[in-house]
Amino acid sequence: MLHGDGCCRGARAGSSGAELWLWDVTEGGKLRLTEAPGILCSNLPLHWRSNKSLPTTFMVKALFDVPDGTVVTVRAGNDENSSAELKNNVSIMKEHVAKFSDLRFVGRSGRGKSFLLTISLGTKPPVVAFYNKAIKVTVDGPREPRSKLRE
């Protein structure tokens, strides 16, 4: 269903239940809801290799007025690694969208753990959004489970 903000809304059943997403007609990619109202971001792969470029540009979209030039910062952490090392995690808002063209997760999330992403907009007052269980980052990235390798 197309809404006035240029987005189609829907839901897709995933392995962890229903996943809310938005299809952004103007950018041509899937965006997901964050914990903050009016802040959307790109979907991330469930599992990724440390220090490898993401398959697509990570984007943050504001559905409210944010001045062009506003700094947007992405941070990641969990209970094992409270402040994971990231590369290219700062971008500038332009026409309500911040694009992180080569966002890389250098720090690892830990065995069986995923990162919580914190998205900070440098507005006054500041806006902070969270993306729970965003991405699992390991040295070797996704691979076949060990039980399948032994067969």
Residue 123 resides in a domain: yes
Phi first, then psi: what are they for 76, rounded to 5°? -135, 145
Does 125 sit behind a cis peptide bond, omega within 30 degrees of 0 on the bond before it?
A: yes
Residue 94 resides in a domain: yes
Domain extent for 103: 7-140
Name the domain count of the chain.
Answer: 1
| pLDDT for the residue numbered 150 | 58
Residue 26 resides in a domain: yes
User: pLDDT higher for 28 or 108?
Assistant: 108
Cβ contact 31:22 at 8 Å: yes
Residue 83 resides in a domain: yes
Residue 146 resides in a domain: no
Q: What is the CATH number of the domain that holds 36?
A: 2.60.40.720
The tens digit of pLDDT for each residue in 95-128 reads 999 999 999 999 888 888 899 999 999 999 999 9
| pLDDT for the residue numbered 151 | 58
Residue 145 resides in a domain: no
Phi first, then psi: what are they for 90, rounded to 5°? -125, 135
Residue 41 resides in a domain: yes
Q: How far apart are CA 116 and CA 132, in angstroms?
A: 5
Cα separations in angstroms, 69 against 59, 97, 98, 138: 15, 10, 9, 33
Q: How far apart are CA 73 and CA 54, in angstroms?
A: 17
Residue 2 resides in a domain: no
Q: How far apart are CA 116 and CA 79, in angstroms?
A: 10
pLDDT of 8 above 60: no
pLDDT of 12 above 60: no
Out of 21-25, 32-36, 74-78, 109-113, which region has the weakest mean confidence (pLDDT)?
21-25
Element (H, E) at 133: strand 127-138
